[in-house]
Chains A and B, each alone.
Chain A
């Protein structure tokens, strides 16, 4: 799968309160949460995002709470992929579980804000369009790849339960 979009750059330790403030957690609506994404640190962020755009961040992206509303908000505002130096573990699981693609790449510093990127998800290759630069990202373990291929935990579990019944 190829993802094309503009880069929105963030720093290290972007936490779940940054991504979606707690006062909005009484909602589970992806679109509503999306409209409030990054509000505390980047007012009107959701209005800057075009469908398919990509978040680029430093280390420990998504640290803090277990709120799945955080990856939902990112998805809901139109972001198609997050690339970071590293991810906090609950955020990482949550994103894979709800089908928000993530890539771990140590070389994100060479991507500039508003760069146009072309990403081959299955190869983990990140092309910076117009700068003939290609960055590589970490490969997912096979185990996780299965869940990613199903676009999330729900479909993966349904398929597993069905297999178990048929056995």
Chain B
């Protein structure tokens, strides 16, 4: 019987000829952030004080509570910096050098198709868009990888999602993944790999593919993955400067690979989707929510803070003003994206429309800083989670949507279909 792409990657990284239920895998690359990193380092010291498995294959990306929101956050970053110096880890990145980990590490070419990557952050699954197997773990697992270069895994079953048809105007990758989570639930892919495929996925640019894989964790998945194609290799060459020779460009799931379930949807009639408080699966079409008033709109995060997200936002906000009583915060995900947005005149459009630009950071997405909600406040965000208290006060409310819906909603001060603003 054939193998799925995920199974092939596990096999490539194991010393066995056949996959067993549990495998020890060699890890190509691992990383942590300023929240999970310090705990990983403390655990690492309990294993060994001598050496890391490979200093070039470890990265620390300080993006959550940075620029440091308080003295503890600053101390945590300093702790990681000192550890990196001690073990000669070159890939330590403070916020001004990196921005958000899941955007930055792809941009810099740290991850290639067929790699097996672990990150101490649940949204590590984002890199599945590159055809890598990228799995989120906790700090102790990461400590184990830093010490040994290996990690144990239960080999997961895969679910295949085939999207057919043609997306309507203003419907994006974010809407596809919200719809998917709505259909299967927040534990619909528990312990499994979500393989995204079909003509609609083929037609998406790489940034849209990152958005889809990013939220696989919101359905409980071990990770998401998309078969690499010409667009993948183009992205790696153009953005990350990687010329990949010797890599099998045709590496795909076998036609007779086994899937636990195959979902096939025609998404031609899908309208923009919005996840309502307090679960990412609590999804409704945007037209059903036009009475929801907003105090804050956030455009950014590892889900939707890329240049194409900002371009969509600018298209809608250009020459218009955001509603006077709502705060609109735009967060380019990395310094590179910020620079590109400046070059294209997007930042000027945002500021003239009445938005504020935040430095790259995870910031408000996890209720860290730079846009925390007060009691009773309502936010629409292009982020990935809307749990109770996620963006601040336990009695605040977060709606999740695409950059297009966020921009249109910012103008009206309530949840709005982009066509109502732009036509």
Residues of A within 8 A of B (CB): 13, 15, 17-18, 21-23, 25-28, 39-41, 59-60, 63-69, 86, 88-90, 93-94, 97-98, 141, 143, 152-154, 157-158, 161
Contacts and interface: CB of A to CB of B under 8 A. Distances in A.
B38 interface: yes
Interface residues of B, number: 49
A26 B73 contact: yes
Query: Among the interface residues A41, A86, A153, which one has the most CB atoms of the partner chain B within 10 A?
Result: A153
B144 interface: yes
Contacts of A59: 187
B220 A88 contact: yes
Contact of A21 (B64, B190, B367): B367
Given A27-B72, A64-B122, A154 B140 contact: yes
A67 B35 contact: yes
Query: Among the interface residues A22, A64, A66, A157, which one has the most CB atoms of the partner chain B within 10 A?
Result: A66
Contacts of B138: 66-68, 90, 93-94, 97
A41 B394 CA distance: 8
B47 A28 contact: no
A93 B187 CA distance: 16
Interface string B130-160: 0000001111110110011000101000000
B186 interface: yes
Interface stretch (B227-235, B305-313, B385-393): B385-393
A15 B65 CA distance: 20
B337 interface: no
Contacts of B121: 65-66
Query: Among the interface residues A67, A68, A86, which one has the most CB atoms of the partner chain B within 10 A?
Result: A68
Nearest to B385: A64
Given A66-B136, A69-B35, 6 more contacts: A17-B385, A23-B367, A26-B70, A68-B36, A90-B136, A94-B140
Contacts of A65: 121-122, 366, 385
The 4 closest A-B pairs by CB, nearest first: A94-B138, A26-B72, A97-B140, A40-B389
B258 interface: no
15 contacts: A21-B389, A22-B390, A25-B64, A26-B65, A40-B394, A60-B220, A67-B36, A67-B138, A86-B187, A93-B141, A97-B141, A154-B47, A154-B144, A161-B47, A161-B147
Contacts of B141: 93-94, 97, 153
Given A68-B138, A88-B190, A89-B222, A17 B388 contact: yes
A90 B39 contact: no
Given A22-B366, A97-B141, A89 B190 contact: yes
A23 B385 CA distance: 15
A27 B34 CA distance: 11
B161 interface: no
B46 interface: yes
Contacts of B143: 154
A153 B44 CA distance: 11
B58 to A, nearest CB: 16
A65 B385 CA distance: 9
Contacts of A23: 367-368
Contacts of B366: 17, 22, 65
Contacts of A157: 47, 144, 147-148
A67 B27 CA distance: 21
Interface in B259-317: 279
Query: Among the interface residues B48, B65, B139, B154, which one has the most CB atoms of the partner chain A within 10 A?
Result: B139
B42 interface: yes
A130 to B, nearest CB: 33
Contact of A69 (B39, B70, B122, B222): B39
A17 B187 contact: no
B21 A141 contact: yes
A139 to B, nearest CB: 14
B417 to A, nearest CB: 29
Contacts of B47: 154, 157-158, 161
B22 A154 contact: no
B76 to A, nearest CB: 6
Interface string B1-45: 000000000000000000001100000000000011011001100
A151 B384 CA distance: 34
Nearest to A95: B138
Contacts of A143: 21-22, 152
A18 B138 CA distance: 17
B170 interface: no
B110 interface: no
Contacts of A40: 388-389, 394
A65 B120 CA distance: 9
A8 to B, nearest CB: 18
Contacts of A89: 190-191, 220, 222
A137 to B, nearest CB: 17
Contacts of A90: 122, 136-138
A100 to B, nearest CB: 11
Contacts of B64: 25
Nearest to A154: B46
Contacts of B124: 66
